[in-house]
């Protein structure tokens, strides 16, 4: 999409494997200098996030089956890790609203919006395709279930980013807690095992930040968001 030749200009079907590629992908995706040393030493807990990244790429490929694009490379609007970074950078800028990002993709992808053999059919789905791309990028840089997915089960009603900037949208999502809530002080040793023992709850990891501490399975299972240290490193 960008025309630049970088190590990220390879198909997003290819999983980032080397420390160098992981470093570049995370640095450009999050706008944060993530060194190869930090990857190798574990100072940045990248593996769990990169597994999430790969999962999201797989989800996008699954969503493409609705547009009959899976076997037609010329019809792919998003082809490379570089393409993903390009859109994520626009999303992460904070001051653009969703339509601004949609318009950007439309202008950059005008030459790719016709699929061989059925160009008019794809063109008719253009808005749906591009909005799905934007939601994909938002999920990668917020770790929130944003956007309605057709081919993937979603455990709760997904978030919807519409008109405002991403910064304003997130401000509305994460509303500060009420001042009248009673806070309970827990011992420093309190951990997941304590939660399992005292509340008799099963623990299930979640990639969705908004689902953290939600109860499911008839209130027998608590969801725990397990990317806290990574997000702290990216926003530190």
* Per-residue pLDDT tens digits for 23-77: 999 999 999 999 999 999 988 888 999 999 999 988 887 776 666 544 333 444 6
pTM reported for the whole predicted model: 0.79
In terms of domains, do 146 and 199 share one?
no
Specify the 3-state DSSP secondary structure of 15. coil
Q: Is residue 2 part of a domain?
A: no
- Average pLDDT (172-186) is 65
In terms of domains, do 37 and 95 share one?
yes
| Exposed/middle/buried for residue 63 (C-beta within 10 Å: 0-12, 13-18, 19+) | buried
Matching residue, tokens 């570049």 = 24
Per the model's pLDDT, the better-predicted residue between 182 and 25 turns out to be 25
In terms of domains, do 132 and 227 share one?
no
Note the pLDDT of residue 68: 52
Assign 137 a pLDDT band (cuts: 50, 70, 90): very high
Domain tally for the chain? 2
Are 203 and 222 within 8 A, CB to CB?
yes
In terms of domains, do 140 and 228 share one?
no
Assign 105 a pLDDT band (cuts: 50, 70, 90): confident
In terms of domains, do 138 and 203 share one?
no
Q: Is residue 46 part of a domain?
A: yes
Q: Is residue 106 part of a domain?
A: yes
Q: Is residue 9 part of a domain?
A: no
- Which of 43-47, 75-79, 114-118, 193-197 is predicted least confidently? 114-118
Note the pLDDT of residue 73: 37
| Exposed/middle/buried for residue 19 (C-beta within 10 Å: 0-12, 13-18, 19+) | middle
Neighbours of 92 (CB within 10 A): 19
Closest CA to 78 of 34, 132, 117: 132
> Which residues constitute the domain of residue 230?
192-235
Q: Using alpha carbons only, give the angle 60, 62, 63 rounded to the nearest 5 degrees.
A: 65
| Residue 182 DSSP one-character state | P
Neighbours of 32 (CB within 10 A): 13
Q: Is residue 186 part of a domain?
A: no
**Nearest-angstrom CA–CA distance, 2 and 107:** 12
Note the pLDDT of residue 178: 52
Per the model's pLDDT, the better-predicted residue between 109 and 221 turns out to be 221
Q: Is residue 180 part of a domain?
A: no
Which residues lie across from 165 on neighbouring strands?
97
């Amino acid at each position: 999409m960008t025309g630049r030749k970088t190590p990220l200009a390879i198909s997003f079907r290819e999983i980032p494997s080397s420390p160098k590629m992981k470093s570049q992908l995370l640095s450009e995706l999050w706008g944060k200098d993530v060194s190869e040393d930090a990857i190798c030493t574990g100072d940045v807990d990248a593996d769990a996030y990169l597994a999430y990244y790969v999962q999201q790429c797989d989800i996008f490929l699954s969503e493409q089956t609705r547009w009959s694009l899976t076997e037609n490379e010329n019809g792919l609007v998003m082809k490379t890790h570089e393409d993903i970074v390009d859109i994520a950078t626009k999303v992460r800028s904070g001051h653009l609203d969703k339509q601004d990002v949609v318009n950007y993709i439309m202008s950059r992808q005008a030459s790719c919006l016709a699929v061989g053999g059925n160009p008019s059919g794809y063109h008719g789905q253009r808005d749906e395709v591009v909005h799905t791309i934007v939601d994909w990028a938002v999920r990668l840089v917020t770790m929130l279930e944003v956007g309605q997915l057709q081919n993937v089960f979603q455990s709760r009603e997904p978030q919807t980013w519409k008109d405002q900037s991403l910064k304003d949208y997130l401000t509305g999502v994460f509303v500060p807690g009420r001042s009248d809530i009673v806070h309970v002080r827990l011992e420093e040793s309190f951990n997941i095992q304590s939660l399992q023992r005292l509340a008799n709850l099963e623990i299930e990891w979640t990639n969705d930040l908004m689902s953290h501490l939600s109860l499911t399975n008839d209130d027998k299972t608590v969801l725990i968001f397990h990317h806290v240290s990574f997000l702290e490193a990216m926003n530190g």
